Amino acid sequence: MNSTPAFQPLPRVIEIASLADFDKHVATVLALSDKRLAASMHGWHVQSVDLRSRSAVLEKLRSSGSVFMGCEIEAKIERRLRGGGALVFPEIPGLPFDPYRGELYTGAELYAGLAAGSYEGVVDARIYAWAAHRLGAGAHDSLNAALSSTLHDHAIGLRLDSQIRDGELSHAPLVGVMGGHAAARGSTGYALAARLGQALSGAGFIVATGGGPGAMEAANLGAYLGAGNQQILDEALAILAEEPGFAPSVTRWARAAARVCERWPDGLANLGIPTWFYGHEPPNMFATHIAKYFANATREAVLLQKCSGGIIFLPGAAGTVQEIFQDACENFYGAAERISPMVLVGVEHWTKTLPAYPLLLELARGRAMEEKVFLVDHPDEAVRILVELNNGTIFGVRGLA
């Protein structure tokens, strides 16, 4: 007798992150439900929504199988929801962040208060201090910290998916720019990465980076300012060069970036995916959408997975090498239609200084990924390759100045 249990289809999950979404789904279930029975919220996952004005509606709905995370609900309605079988996650006290947040971060939010104080007092620094203390080895409340940080990263993932699916990051393919954090403002490498970001933006792509300093900041900067007047980028680079790095003062480094944002406030949409795991590296302000995670492994995986338009690897060190082969592993085992292009920039760097390219080429040989692995000497070659491979989804390319 076969005792293997039959697998049943998973119940449908409906993610709801705004009052408008909630009202839309309420209208749908009320229209479709049997008038003799209360409409069901089974499978609804409602996150960070103020429902205090919807108490009368909630009283009409069956709550069994629903989940509410970080929502504001009248006390009597919350008791009714729990009694009806809903799972209601309570507020978690003592956190410097919202584990159920309904939006991605912005530079303005993470650096709020910088103008009047130091970096150590801004939201980003406070969250890092919490993570270093609460998630560290031997922390007495590490279970609560692990739960809240996991809930937070789950919420960030949902918001990022939503932005890429039908939000402000949905209008074009994402192209990743990977590179080291060590490229100083004012250096040739920093300027080259900025012009790469500008060229990708001009080619119609949405730029995504690891969201940190160095080459990541430069690529976000170029994308933020867009492919307009070259003089604007030159002026921005000159402002930033006054504070080349985040050491010894993150405060001065961040204030220089704030001056650029204040002078050119209407930047183009682009993405940064940093992590508090490397909290000593502050996030850059030029990513208009910041998906910041506690778990670096999650952050790395998400960054590589979302860049459907391809990834450009600038010269870097251990972190960039890790990203190359993590991406290569996904392409090695991936279906042909899901393989994204890999373009390494810097022949000398990737064949002699850190000879990742020869190994990558051997891995790719005879695989579906072989035709999507490239080595070039200049970023404008990388842009042209990605334009050719993504033709039909973007418009023409402007070369780097």
Asked if residues 58 and 51 have their Cβ atoms less than 8 Å apart, the reply is: yes
Are residues 221 and 75 located together in one domain of the fold? no
Are residues 249 and 347 located together in one domain of the fold? yes
pLDDT at position 37 is 67
Whichever domain contains 208, its CATH number is 3.40.50.450
131 lies in some domain: no
User: Across the strands, what pairs with 44?
Assistant: 14
Are residues 197 and 331 located together in one domain of the fold? yes
pLDDT at position 337 is 86
Asked if residues 216 and 182 have their Cβ atoms less than 8 Å apart, the reply is: no
Instruction: Let me know how long the chain is.
Output: 401
Q: In the block, which residue shows the tokens 């490229």?
A: 183
Asked if residues 266 and 286 have their Cβ atoms less than 8 Å apart, the reply is: no
Reported in sequence order, the residue ranges of 86-146 that DSSP labels E, i.e. its strands, are 87-89
22 lies in some domain: yes
65 lies in some domain: yes
Are residues 233 and 360 located together in one domain of the fold? yes
Residue that finishes a domain, picked among 67, 89, 111: 89
Amino acid at 276: W
Domain that residue 31 falls in: 14-89
Residue that finishes a domain, picked among 89, 111, 143: 89
Are residues 85 and 159 located together in one domain of the fold? no
Reported in sequence order, the residue ranges of 161-217 that DSSP labels E, i.e. its strands, are 174-178, 206-209
CA distance 309 to 210: 16
Sign of CA dihedral 104, 169, 312, 182: negative
Supply angle C-alpha 83, 89, 94, rounded to 5: 140
110 lies in some domain: no
pLDDT at position 180 is 86
Q: Is 363 helix (H, G, I), strand (E, B) or coil?
A: helix
242 — phi, psi (to 5°)? -65, -25
Q: Is 272 helix (H, G, I), strand (E, B) or coil?
A: strand
CA distance 258 to 32: 51
140 lies in some domain: no
Q: Is 212 helix (H, G, I), strand (E, B) or coil?
A: coil
Residues whose CB falls within 8 Å of the CB of residue 8, separated by 6 or more in sequence, listed in order: none
CA distance 50 to 34: 28
pLDDT at position 41 is 96
pLDDT tens for each residue of the chain, 401 residues long: 455 555 455 567 898 989 999 999 999 988 887 766 678 999 999 998 999 999 999 999 999 999 999 999 999 999 999 999 999 998 888 899 999 998 999 999 999 999 999 999 999 999 999 998 877 655 556 778 889 999 999 999 999 999 999 999 999 999 999 998 889 999 999 999 999 999 999 999 999 999 999 999 999 999 999 977 789 999 999 999 999 999 999 999 999 999 999 999 999 999 999 999 988 899 999 999 999 999 999 999 999 999 999 999 999 999 899 999 999 999 999 888 889 999 999 999 999 999 999 999 999 999 999 999 999 999 999 999 999 999 855 543 333 43
Are residues 368 and 247 located together in one domain of the fold? yes
Q: Which helix (H) or strand (E) holds 345?
A: strand 342-345
368 lies in some domain: yes
120 lies in some domain: no
Supply angle C-alpha 199, 203, 206, rounded to 5: 85
203 Ramachandran zone, left/alpha/beta (phi>0; psi -120 to 50): alpha
Asked if residues 293 and 325 have their Cβ atoms less than 8 Å apart, the reply is: no
251 lies in some domain: yes
Are residues 180 and 63 located together in one domain of the fold? no
Residues whose CB falls within 8 Å of the CB of residue 48, separated by 6 or more in sequence, listed in order: 17, 69, 70, 71, 98, 100, 101, 102, 155
CA distance 70 to 29: 23
Number of domains into which the chain is organized = 2
Asked if residues 262 and 114 have their Cβ atoms less than 8 Å apart, the reply is: no
Residues whose CB falls within 8 Å of the CB of residue 326, separated by 6 or more in sequence, listed in order: 300, 301, 304
Are residues 194 and 328 located together in one domain of the fold? yes
Are residues 229 and 363 located together in one domain of the fold? yes
Q: In the block, which residue shows the tokens 């921005």?
A: 236
CA distance 251 to 254: 5
Are residues 242 and 335 located together in one domain of the fold? yes
CA distance 100 to 148: 9
User: Across the strands, what pairs with 89?
Assistant: 69
Are residues 83 and 217 located together in one domain of the fold? no
Three-state helix/strand/coil letters over 2-45: CCCCCCCCCCCCEEECCHHHHHHHHHHHHHHCCCCCCEECCCEE
For residue 81, CA distances in Å to 51, 78, 88, 214 come to 12, 5, 8, 49
Are residues 66 and 175 located together in one domain of the fold? no
Residue that finishes a domain, picked among 59, 89, 119: 89
